[in-house]
Amino acid sequence: MGAVTLGLNLEFSRFENGSFEWAMDQAAEIGYTHVEPMVYWGRELLSTAGYFHTVSMWDDPLLRMAAAARSRGLTISSLSSHAPLAKPDVSVDYLRQAVRCAAEVGSPMIMLDDGPLPDWTTEAENYTLMRYTLQEVCRSAEARGIKVAVETHGEYTATPERLQRLLDLVDSPALTVNLDTGNAYLSENDPHAWLEDIVGQVTHLHAKDIGHDDARRLRGKVRGMLGCACGEGVIDWDRIVRTLSAADHDVVLSVECGSRDAAVKSHAHLSELIAKYAG
């Protein structure tokens, strides 16, 4: 059996006005062992001024991301590097740089998804464009031993059938899945059964719970949002952890929630379940 470890997506700090370093401090203080930073290309005011958690890939990754993780005893589980797959003029160079950055900071994978889409293309054209992007990025990833994890987030990953069709566009050992439990639920799937069907392809999992009120209001209307504390919503975390614990490879549960308080509660709830099924 593989190991299930607990990480924190740094988006929890989005509404806290905290910097990357602040978010890393909080993750370590709460007790997480892994983190999932978000990278971007270029410069923007809020991150540069210390009011947002994202890190520019124009910065030296070893001198900022890797050093920040090492000094706090944290491991980077993935780089959140979402880019529109059907817009290769935007995505290919950006994602290649994310792959190089991941290799340099010791992250085993990068994270991406399938949207937003061009407003003038057909579905057939979108698949061709996404295949081009995935093929180019996977080539770079394979050469560096990096995984490319497709997140369940948009129109082309909204159901098990759509996700598999996207994965089948490219034959690459680098191409894997980040199942987002909350997004899967919002798209009117059963995330527990979906995970059980594809656990062999899942190398990373966004541990996202959806509050009961949000589930009633938003299911079938949106495909993504920040979650509530794990254990306070609609997801059966015992079933999720049990499934991952039986897998033949390691998986990081990366909590994606909307506040530090939710991150604290999620850590307590999921740590107990991980300990229950360990060994």
Q: Which positions ≥6 away from 80 have C-beta within 8 Å? A: 9, 10, 11, 36, 37, 38, 39, 111
Amino acid occupying residue 88: P
Q: What is the pLDDT of residue 279?
A: 66
Q: Which positions ≥6 away from 167 have C-beta within 8 Å? A: 150, 175, 177, 201
Q: What is the pLDDT of residue 115?
A: 87
- For the whole model, what pTM was predicted? 0.96
CA nearest neighbour of 224 among 120, 111, 147: 111
Low-confidence spans in the chain with pLDDT less than 70:
279
Based on its alpha-carbon atoms, the radius of gyration of the chain, rounded to whole angstroms, reads 17
Residue 217 sits in which domain range?
A: 4-277
Q: Which positions ≥6 away from 158 have C-beta within 8 Å? A: 152, 187, 189, 223
In this structure, what CATH number is given to the domain that contains residue 231? 3.20.20.150
Joined tokens for residue 21: 């370093």
Count how many domains the chain has: 1
The answer to whether 56 and 42 are in contact (CB under 8 A) is: yes
Amino acid occupying residue 174: A
**DSSP state, 118?**
P
Joined tokens for residue 221: 């209307």
Strand partners for 76: 35
Annotate 32-60 with b (16+ C-beta within 10 A) or e (fewer). Answer: bebbbbbbbbeeeeebeeeebbbbbbebe
CA angle 93, 198, 77 (to 5 degrees): 50
